[in-house]
Structure 1
Amino acid sequence: MERGDSIRQIARDLGRAPSTVQREIRRNVRSKQNYRSRAVYEKKRASGRPRIRPLRYSPHVAQLRADHLASRARAGKLATNERLRRWVQDRLEEEHSPEQIAAMLPIEFPHDLEMRVSHETIYQALYVQGRGGLRRDLHQRLRTGRALRKPNRQATRRRQRIPGMVLISERPAEVEDRAVPGHWEGDLIMGGAGTKSAIGTLVERTSRYVMLLHLPDGFGADAVQSAMVEAMSRLPDELRQTLTWDQGFEMANHVQIAAATDLDIYFCDPHSPWQRGSNENTNGLLRQYFPKGADLNNFPADYLAHVARKLNTRPRKTLGWKTPAQVLDELLSNPNPPPSVAMTG
């Protein structure tokens, strides 16, 4: 503006609409008395009349004003819509994620446009001061349970190679497309340092159905073998095809496990957790119930079954907002899950 450029020229230089530039000038000239319509300014220049003083626009003042306006507390949608707020809070109490809640609203209320909210709005109502409407304690119902939002970080663990491994590169191609049920991914989630505790996790790749292995006697190869064989023996034959694990020494007895369960067992490449993506994701979900640093030996087998049931009846985005239990039922062409499967959660 100090060069005398027109509003249209400024808009072209910035890649913005002239009306946007015009509104910005109106809001942020230093003095209302100094402001004149740019059209009047251009007309006087063209007529040869004495040049008037250019508009005094200060970018620093404009930024301070914008920051001030942005910092003002404004009531969010959840603070003003009591019916929507109650519905969202009820689902948070059920430990559904904000994304799951936002996705279910159009399904539950297809003709009520007032019953819509984005998952980001729910997060802001929980975490951003002044954008509330939800009870602040509900953040404890989220998977992380954090009072502040933080990026997820996953630490890598060193692995020991074990004899007789068949690597994932030799796994059948049918496992990749998730069209056939019965292919599992597994791992351990570890307790706090010094507790020598762990829980085994098994995830069926097609349905994301979860089973948890209770390991009260430690997570050595013999303990894992015993828990794995016991869990897999409760599954029908069509759900026992393959198992993919990382190169943890807890699977040193993989030959015996394969023989007892009729599973083909494959091992991921070192430091490649994405090769067990469904299991890694599930382990993250489980940390809501089994916090890092906890002694996992304190959780009894019936609590593990309760947690597995929670995850298996929770709608999942990757399943078109169906639950793992529903998808597994459909895959087995059975209106009810097999009794042996239902026992595991």
Structure 2
Amino acid sequence: MGLERRVSGGSFRLAQARAEYFRLMQQGVSSREACRRVGVDPRRGKMWRNGRVPKPRGGRAEVSGRFLSESERVHIADRCRERAGVRVIARELGRDPSTVSRELRRNCQQNGAYRPHGAHARARARRPRPKRGKIARDGRLRQVVETKLGHQWSPEQIAAYLRRRFPGQPDRHVVHETIYQAMYHRHRGRLRQHSCRQLRSGRRRRRSRRETRQRQHFFVTPSVMLDHRPAEAADRAVPGHWEGDLLIGRNNATAIITLVERTTRYVTLVALPWGQTPQHVNTALRRSLARVPRHLTRTLTWDQGSELAYHEEFTARTGIPVFFCDAASPWQRGSNENTNRLLRQYFPKGTDPPRQQTQLTDIARELNTRPRKTLNWDTPKHRWTTLLTSK
């Protein structure tokens, strides 16, 4: 048949190919085979099935069926003059009542008259993209967002802060996706150049999904696995259960200990100036947790790294049992893994974390004073201080 060669040029030709494509699909022909027969790329067939009609060469793009057509607006005008209700008109058009109600609310004139052709023209004028977003239009809002990004806040933290900072100004409330688009699409927000570098990831381009990376594990003989950890630690109801790991520097030459309390998400960073051998890790861990009240040091969860090979000695001296995660299961220490990811903003891969404890203490203080979504936008420091003063 004539459509079996590659379709090119003209909206009529594409419309004919599209009709033939759906006829073949109704007969049980696969999408790929139907595209081959009508002479279009399989990606175009997928767009047709999803209700998207691309703009053909040399012609005007067809409007998606989810928008009201001019004939539908004429029907709305005629039925409004006959005093028909919104739900009746929507039923006749096969539309949702809110669609008809919104159309009348947007395009009725001051005297209540509805002009369908003028409404259609205004709707077409509103449709083109891109449009200037809230951040681009509001200089004060843009300044607040840039300031918080400079303090290394995440877009989700900034979005929650804006609702509290401007409670009676909904025009200055944005979702975190709006901030992301303002950084990655300059016409949407016009944030400062290279603002995306201030994100945790530091990516200059967005990714559709996170790439999975496998890390090498060094196993020890664990005394107790995670299955035997008390149930109170799993549901985070009782404070005092910690997660720990090492954050490794360049060429595995340097490292620091990262500890996170599971209930409050309170972060403690411990320097390892003399090395990361099991002896050094054991000593640094004992000294760090010795400063914490005994009722807030119930358990410690670690991965199967060889740096905690002396876990039995650690438990004997501190009374804190150590539980080991399963192999290749980082989600079993989710709070600690998330903290390590936050710390990579301070110590990117390929760099060395500081050896001085004072610098690490300052960084931990900055992390603990950030509002956290999982804490209902409270800060870990406030939760931890409450625990210390309640006993």
TM-score, length basis structure 1 = 0.75
Higher alpha-carbon deviation: 279-288 or 257-266: 257-266
Q: Is the 8 A contact 1:240 1:261 kept in 2?
A: no
Alpha-carbon distance in structure 2 between the residues aligned to 1:24 and 1:265:
71
Give the drift of 1:154. Answer: 5.0
Per the alignment, do residues 197 and 24 of structure 1 end up closer, same or farther by CA in structure 2, a change over 3 Å counting? farther
Instruction: Select 1:248's aligned residue among 305, 310, 332.
Output: 305
SS at match of 1:131: helix
Q: In the alignment, is residue 311 of structure 1 matched against residue 358 of structure 2?
A: no
Q: Is the 8 A contact 1:185 1:202 kept in 2?
A: yes
Q: Is the 8 A contact 1:195 1:295 kept in 2?
A: no
2:256 corresponds to: 199
Per the alignment, do residues 69 and 266 of structure 1 end up closer, same or farther by CA in structure 2, a change over 3 Å counting? same
Q: Is the 8 A contact 1:80 1:133 kept in 2?
A: no
2:149 corresponds to: 92
Q: In the alignment, is residue 325 of structure 1 matched against residue 372 of structure 2?
A: no
Q: Is the 8 A contact 2:272 2:355 kept in 1?
A: no
Give the drift of 1:260. Answer: 2.2
1:110 corresponds to: 167
Alpha-carbon distance in structure 1 between the residues aligned to 2:199 and 2:386:
29
After TM superposition, the structure 1 = structure 2 runs for residues 1-345 of structure 1, keeping only pairs within 5 Å, are 20=67, 22=69, 69-70=128-129, 72=130, 74-150=131-207, 151-153=209-211, 155-192=213-250, 194-296=251-353, 298-334=354-390
Q: Is the 8 A contact 2:134 2:189 kept in 1?
A: no
SS at match of 1:130: helix
Per the alignment, do residues 268 and 164 of structure 1 end up closer, same or farther by CA in structure 2, a change over 3 Å counting? closer
SS at match of 2:190: coil
- Where does the alignment leave 5 or more consecutive residues of structure 1 unmatched? 6-12, 27-36, 40-64, 339-345
Alpha-carbon distance in structure 2 between the residues aligned to 1:160 and 1:144:
26
Give the drift of 1:157. Answer: 2.3
Q: Is the 8 A contact 2:304 2:325 kept in 1?
A: yes
Structure 2 counterpart of 1:311, which letter?
L
SS at match of 1:136: coil
Alpha-carbon distance in structure 2 between the residues aligned to 1:255 and 1:116:
52
SS at match of 1:222: helix
Structure 2 counterpart of 1:176, which letter?
A
- Where does the alignment leave 5 or more consecutive residues of structure 2 unmatched? 1-11, 20-49, 52-62, 77-123
What count of residue pairs does the alignment treat as equivalent? 286
Structure 1 counterpart of 2:356, which letter?
P
Q: Is the 8 A contact 1:229 1:261 kept in 2?
A: yes
SS at match of 1:143: coil
Q: What is the aligned-residue identity percentage?
A: 46
Alpha-carbon distance in structure 1 between the residues aligned to 2:149 and 2:64:
42
Give the drift of 1:141. Answer: 2.3
Alpha-carbon distance in structure 2 between the residues aligned to 1:221 and 1:195:
14
Give the drift of 1:332. Answer: 3.5
Give the drift of 1:25. Answer: 10
Give the drift of 1:331. Answer: 3.1
Structure 2 counterpart of 1:306, which letter?
D
Give the drift of 1:38. Answer: 9.7
1:115-166 deviations in Å (ceiling 9; x for gaps): 2111111111111132232112332322122322334445332323323521
Give the drift of 1:216. Answer: 2.0
Give the drift of 1:258. Answer: 1.3
Structure 1 counterpart of 2:225, which letter?
L
Alpha-carbon distance in structure 2 between the residues aligned to 1:189 and 1:322:
26
1:51-101 deviations in Å (ceiling 9; x for gaps): xxxxxxxxxxxxxx9xx944x5x3221111112112212211221111001
Structure 1 counterpart of 2:247, which letter?
I
SS at match of 1:203: strand
Alpha-carbon distance in structure 1 between the residues aligned to 2:315 and 2:326:
19
The alignment's C-alpha RMSD in Å is 3.1
Larger RCO (alpha carbons 8 Å, 6+ apart):
1
